[in-house]
């Protein structure tokens, strides 16, 4: 009997430096045991020190990439990252719905790169809120992104659960809210599962490293991968959380470029 891969389609921007975006997604999906496919939404001129240019892919070409994959191969889960403009957000939503591929969408609401460079146009934020977040199964904002989506400040750990639940109920989506921008030696990410109404606390030790480029892309791709493999939502998030912690920890000892280096996506395999 022929075997089948667990399939994950990533829809995101390209990072020429290889640490984030489509490149990080493909590495993560592969490391987490799935077959990776891609639709590129924008080409960024980027390295570890920052983003010096963003060149959007034509909207019809984005549509056609997604359609080509879903027409032929299909997908068990879809990870969505950088979308850049309102036109691309609407196009992505429409083509996924056309192919009934909107059951297992993991959306990383990418707005700003680790370097501080903007990756989403201001006018596209409302489109993201109104069009795409409500059709996702899981969103994975960091604190600055969650503050924009919720319209309120997050200043302490106790705020995370409140905001995660608020976002979940507002958009009918499960929310993985990352605590990395808070201080302290221990981090507690919060996952609010909209499907059972429960909160999952995910604790880890803070790792002192500048190599955090692409952590958001990596986490969301890992969540999508474990969902594609058939894990429950809570187990998918737990496994993804463990994977990103190991990738950051293993990558901390490397020097890649002059700025924020990448995590070690293949730490389980490179000895």
- What is the rounded average pLDDT of the residues 186-210? 94
pLDDT of residue 192: 98
d(CA 92, CA 5): 24
Least-confidence region, from 5-9, 119-123, 176-180? 119-123
- What is the rounded average pLDDT of the residues 74-103? 95
Q: Could you say which of 19, 214, 251, 261 is catalytic? A: 214
134-172 pLDDT, tens digit per residue, is: 999 999 999 989 999 999 999 888 999 999 999 999 999
pLDDT of residue 109: 92
Q: Could you say which of 41, 44, 114, 215 is catalytic? A: 215
Tell me the three state secondary structure of residue 146. helix
257 as an active site residue: the answer is no
pLDDT of residue 180: 80
d(CA 20, CA 58): 21
Nearest Cα to 10, choosing from 34, 42, 41, 39? 39
Name 23's Cβ contacts closer than 8 Å, sequence gap at least 6: 14, 15, 17
Nearest Cα to 133, choosing from 93, 96, 97? 93
pLDDT of residue 115: 58
Helices and strands: H and E segment counts in the chain: 8, 9
Q: Is 208 a residue whose pLDDT tops 70?
A: yes
Q: Could you say which of 217, 218, 251, 261 is catalytic? A: 217
How sure is the predictor about 116, in pLDDT bands with cuts at 50, 70 and 90? low
d(CA 228, CA 239): 13
Q: Could you say which of 27, 79, 93, 178 is catalytic? A: 178
216 as an active site residue: the answer is yes
114 as an active site residue: the answer is no
Token code pair at residue 40: 């590129």
214 as an active site residue: the answer is yes
**Contact between 190 and 204 (Cβ < 8 Å):** no
Nearest Cα to 258, choosing from 186, 210, 207, 194? 210
Tell me the three state secondary structure of residue 187. strand
Q: Is 182 a residue whose pLDDT tops 90?
A: no
Residue 240: phi and psi, rounded to 5, are -65, -40
d(CA 65, CA 196): 35
Q: Could you say which of 41, 44, 127, 212 is catalytic? A: 212
Tell me the three state secondary structure of residue 80. strand
Identify the helix (H) or strand (E) that includes residue 148. helix 143-150
d(CA 264, CA 76): 25
Neighbour-count burial of 102, counting CB atoms closer than 10 A to its CB (0-12 exposed, 13-18 middle, 19+ buried): middle
Where do the domains of the chain lie, and which CATH numbers do they carry? 7-251 (3.40.1190.20)
pLDDT of residue 88: 94
What is the CB neighbour count within 10 angstroms for residue 125?
Answer: 17
Kindly report whether the global pTM for this prediction surpasses the value 0.85. Answer: yes
């Amino acid at each position: 009997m022929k075997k089948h891969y667990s399939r994950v389609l990533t829809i995101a921007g390209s990072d020429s430096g290889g640490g984030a975006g489509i490149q990080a997604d493909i590495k993560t999906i592969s490391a987490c045991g799935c077959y990776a496919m891609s639709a590129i939404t924008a080409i960024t001129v980027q390295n570890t020190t920052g983003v010096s240019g963003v060149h959007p892919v034509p909207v019809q070409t984005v549509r056609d990439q997604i359609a080509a994959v879903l027409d032929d191969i299909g997908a068990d889960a879809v990870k969505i990252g950088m979308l850049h403009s309102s036109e691309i957000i609407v196009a992505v939503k429409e083509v996924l719905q056309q192919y009934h591929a909107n059951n297992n969408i993991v959306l990383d609401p990418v707005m700003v790169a680790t370097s501080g460079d903007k990756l989403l146009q201001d006018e596209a934020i409302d489109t993201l809120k109104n069009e795409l977040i409500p059709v996702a199964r899981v969103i994975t904002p960091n604190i600055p992104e969650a503050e924009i989506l919720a319209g309120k400040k997050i200043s302490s750990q106790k705020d995370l659960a409140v905001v995660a639940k608020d976002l979940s109920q507002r958009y009918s989506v499960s929310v993985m809210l990352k605590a990395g921008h808070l201080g302290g030696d221990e981090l507690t990410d919060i996952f609010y599962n909209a499907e059972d109404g429960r909160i999952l606390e995910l604790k880890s030790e803070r790792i002192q490293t500048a190599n955090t480029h692409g952590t958001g892309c990596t986490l969301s791709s890992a969540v999508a991968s474990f969902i594609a493999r058939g894990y429950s939502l809570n187990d998918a998030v737990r496994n993804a959380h463990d994977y990103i912690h190991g990738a950051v920890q293993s990558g901390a000892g490397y020097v890649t470029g002059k700025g924020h280096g990448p995590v070690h996506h293949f730490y389980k395999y490179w000895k």
